[in-house]
């Protein structure tokens, strides 16, 4: 027999959605400052970078554009590889950290908070911290000379924001992880929040357009790695 939801059940569900929506708004404060942690300067010569993360890395052009900008700036070969997948979180990152190590990177740019923060498919803050810490420990032990940087990414809006009411707390946790593990932090999230709305808000609520990335992600990362993007 097909089970039907009564008016009371639908009311409870609607109320829960409304509460989560309100939380999503109030847990997204406007930042008073950008909380970068500097990445150690790169040595001269060729550089291999691994972009390690979610669909915000896997499906986006910013790694290719960053490679172009850095190659021109450094006047030396720069390769940006991706180890990334749609829907990936820090648990997936733990299982693929060996692929990152195998690439023998000079730089690792890491972002999994956007999916860890999903209350339907993600993990609690405490588990996200434990899993990120394991990734950072493994990278630090296997490629100790590599520059490692956590990246906070863009906000989420609409339904994709509603299911990520604690995204800001996951991004704040990156600050603590960077301090504890003595790695860099590129605070893109604060820059997104400070940007004009037509830049700050992705059309689908989650994935920035190439032009939006070009205005925020690429120049910020290039600068963090010692170059200025024109």
Q: How is residue 135 written in tokens?
A: 């990734």
Contact yes or no for 135/166 (Cβ under 8 A): no
pLDDT of residue 32: 60
Q: Distance between CA 42 and CA 212 in Å, rounded?
A: 27
What CA dihedral angle connects 201, 207, 212 and 213, to 10 degrees?
140
* Matching residue, tokens 């180890």: 83
Q: Chunked in runs of 10, what are the mean pLDDT values of the chain (230 residues)? A: 49 45 49 87 95 97 97 94 98 98 98 98 97 98 98 96 97 97 98 88 94 96 86
Residue 11 tokens read as 């009311």
pLDDT value of residue 181: 98
3-state secondary structure at position 124? coil
Residue 53 DSSP class? E
**What's the pLDDT score for residue 30?**
56
**Alpha helices, DSSP H only, in the chain?**
7-26, 55-58, 62-74, 90-102, 113-116, 125-142, 158-162, 167-181, 188-194, 197-200, 210-224
- Spell out the residues 6+ positions from residue 194 whose beta carbon is closer than 8 angstroms to its own: 30, 31, 34, 200
Domains and CATH numbers, the chain: 32-224 (3.40.50.1110)
Q: Report d(CA 148, CA 75) in Å as an integer.
A: 22
Q: What angle do CA 221, 74, 34 make, to 5 degrees?
A: 20
pLDDT at 10 (0 to 100): 43
Q: What is the pLDDT of residue 18?
A: 47
Q: Which CA distances in Å does 191 have to 43, 49, 58?
A: 27, 22, 21
Residue 197 has a pLDDT of 80
Give the pLDDT score at 6.
Answer: 58
Q: How far is CA 227 from the centre of its chain?
A: 21
Integer CA distances (angstroms), 43 to 33, 93, 110, 145, 226, in order: 29, 27, 20, 11, 10
């Amino acid at each position: 027999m097909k089970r039907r939801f009564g008016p009371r059940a639908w009311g409870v569900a609607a109320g829960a959605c409304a509460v989560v929506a309100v939380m999503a708004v109030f847990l997204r404060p406007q930042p008073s400052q950008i909380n970068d942690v500097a990445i150690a300067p790169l040595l001269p010569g060729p550089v291999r970078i691994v972009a390690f993360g979610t669909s915000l890395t896997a499906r986006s052009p910013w790694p290719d554009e960053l490679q172009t900008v850095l190659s021109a700036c450094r006047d030396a070969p720069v390769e940006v590889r991706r180890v990334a997948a749609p829907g990936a979180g820090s648990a997936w990152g733990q299982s693929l950290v060996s692929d990152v190590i195998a690439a023998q990177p000079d730089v690792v740019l890491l972002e999994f908070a956007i999916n860890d923060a999903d209350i339907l498919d993600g993990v609690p803050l405490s588990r996200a911290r434990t899993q990120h810490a394991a990734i950072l420990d493994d990278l630090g032990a296997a490629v100790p000379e590599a520059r490692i940087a956590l990246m906070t990414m863009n906000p989420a809006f609409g339904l994709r924001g509603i299911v990520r009411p604690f995204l800001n707390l996951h991004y704040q946790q990156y600050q603590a992880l960077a301090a504890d593990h003595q790695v860099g932090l590129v605070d893109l999230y604060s820059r997104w929040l400070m940007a004009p709305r037509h830049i700050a808000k992705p059309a689908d609520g989650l994935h920035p357009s190439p032009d939006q990335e070009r205005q925020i992600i690429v120049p910020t990362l290039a600068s963090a790695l010692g170059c200025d993007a024109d």
